[in-house]
Structure 1
Amino acid sequence: MKINYNILLTSLMVCMLLLCGTNFINGQETSHFSEIKGTVIDELSKKPLVFSDLVINDTNISTVTNNDGEFILKVPQEFLDGTLIVSYLGYVKKEIKISKINNKIKIALIPAITELNEVSILALPPNAKDLVIETLSKKSTLYNNNNTLMTAFYRETIKKRRKNASLSEAVVKIHKQPYNNLRKDHIELIKARKNTDYTKLDTLALKLQGGPFSNLYADIVKYPEFIFTKEDIELYDFSFGAPTSINKKLVYVINFKQNKNITEPMYYGKLYIDAKTKALTNAVYNLNVENKELSSQIFVRKKPRKVDVYPIEASYKVNYRIQNDKWHYAYSNISLTLKVNWKGKLFNSIYTLNSEMAITDWEISNTKFAKTRENIIRPTTILTDETSGFSDPEFWGEYNIIEPEKSIESAIKKIQKQLKRS
Structure 2
Amino acid sequence: MPIKTPSMFSPIQFKATFLCIIAALVMLVPQSSLAFQQNNAELDYNEYSGEVKEASSNKALVFATLTVEGTNISTISNTEGNFLLKVPKEHISKNLVVSFLGYKTKTLPISDLEREGNEISLEVSVTQLSEININAPKDAMGLVKETLKNRDENYFQDPSLMTAFYRETIKRRRKNVSLAEAVVNVYKTPYNIVREDAVELYKARKSTDYSKLDTVALKLQGGPYNTLYVDMMKYPEYIFSEESLTNYKFTFDRSVRTNDRLIYVIRFNQHEGILEPLYQGELYIDVENKILTGAVFSLNITDRDQAAQLFVRRKPAKVDVWPTEVSYRVDYREKNGKWHYGYSSVFMEFKVDWADKWFNSQYSMTAEMAITDWETVSKDERPKYRQRIRKSIILSDEATGFSDPDFWGEYNIIEPEKSIESAIKKIQRQLRRSERNSD
TM-score (norm 2): 0.90
Task: Please name the residue that 2:358 is paired with.
Answer: 346
Q: 2:123 aligns with which of 98, 104, 110?
A: 110
1:335 to 327, 336, 347: 347
In the TM superposition, residue 247 of structure 1 has moved relative to its aligned partner by 1.4
Question: How far off its partner does 1:393 sit?
Answer: 2.2
Counterparts of 1:55 and 1:30 in 2: how far apart (Å)?
A: 25
Structure 2: segments with no counterpart, 5+ residues = 1-9, 23-29, 31-35, 435-439
Could you list the per-position Cα deviations for residues 264-293 of structure 1 after superposition, in whole angstroms to 9, with x for gaps in the alignment? 110000000001101000100010112111
> For residue 108 of structure 1, what is the amino acid of its counterpart?
S
The one-letter code matched in structure 2 to 1:226 is Y
- 2:182 is the alignment partner of 1:144: no
Q: 2:225 aligns with which of 192, 198, 213?
A: 213
Equivalent in the alignment of 1:280: 292
Report deviation, 1:368: 4.0
Select which of 46, 66, 70 maps to 2:58.
Answer: 46
The Cα of 1:296 is off from its aligned counterpart by: 1.0
Q: What's the CA shift for 1:9? A: 11
> Alpha carbons of 1:2 and 1:298: their partners in 2 closer, same or farther (altered >3 Å)?
closer
> What is the Cα deviation at residue 121 of structure 1?
1.8
CA RMSD across the alignment: 2.0
1 CA distance for matches of 2:19 and 2:341?
A: 18
**Does the 8 Å CA contact 1:7/1:214 hold for their aligned counterparts?**
no
Alignment of 1:22-421 (within 5 A): 31=41, 32-104=44-116, 105-117=118-130, 120-421=132-433
Q: Kindly provide the amino acid, as one letter, of the partner of residue 323 in structure 1.
A: K
Counterpart of 1:110, as a letter, is E
**SS, match of residue 329 in structure 1:** strand
Task: Report if the CA contact (8 A) 1:217-1:223 is conserved.
Answer: yes
Change (3 A) 1:218 1:371: closer
Q: Deviations over 1:310-359 (max 9, x none)?
A: 11111111000000100000000111010110112110000010010000
1:7 positional shift? 4.9
Q: Which residue of 2 aligns with 1:3?
A: 12
- Note if contact 1:239-1:255 (Cα within 8 Å) is conserved in structure 2: yes
1:164 is matched by which residue type in structure 2? N
Deviation, 1:374, is: 4.1
Amino acid at match of 2:96: L
Give 1 or 2: higher strand fraction. 1
SS at match of 2:72: coil
Deviations 1:68-111 (A, max 9, x none): 10111110011010000000001001001001111121001101
SS of structure 1 residue aligned to 2:423 = helix
SS in 2 for 1:242: strand
Q: How many residue pairs are counted as aligned between the two chains?
A: 409
Report the Cα offset of residue 3 of structure 1.
1.4
SS of equivalent residue, structure 1 residue 241: strand
SS of alignment partner, residue 120 of structure 2? strand
Q: Is the 8 A contact 2:19 2:392 kept in 1?
A: no
Superposed CA offset, 1:344-393 (max 9, x none):
21100000100100000000001345344443112221111212211222
**Separation (CA, whole Å) in 2 of partners of 1:347 and 1:6:** 36
How far 1:12 moved relative to its partner?
Answer: 11
Question: CA distance change for structure 1 residues 76 and 11 in 2, over 3 Å: closer, same or farther?
Answer: farther
Q: Helix, strand or coil: the match of 1:417?
A: helix
Q: Secondary structure at the match of 1:111?
A: coil
Distance 2:263 2:345 in 1: 21
* 1:116 CA displacement: 2.6
Report the CA distance shift for 1:30/1:133 in structure 2 as closer, same or farther (over 3 A). Answer: farther
% of aligned pairs identical?
50
CA drift at 1:136: 0.7
> Could you tell me which residue of structure 2 aligns to residue 19 of structure 1?
none
- Report the secondary structure of 2:313's partner residue: strand
In structure 2, the residue corresponding to 1:377 is in which secondary structure? Answer: coil
Q: Structure 1, residues 209-260: CA drift from partner, whole Å, max 9, x if none? A: 1110010000000001110111111000100011111112110110000000
- Aligned partner of 1:21 in structure 2 is none
Q: How far is 1:263 from its partner?
A: 1.1
Letter matched to residue 286 of structure 1: S
Contact 2:47 2:84 (C-alpha < 8 Å) held by counterparts: yes
Q: Cα–Cα, structure 1 residues 9 and 84, in superposed 2: closer, same or farther, change >3 Å?
A: farther
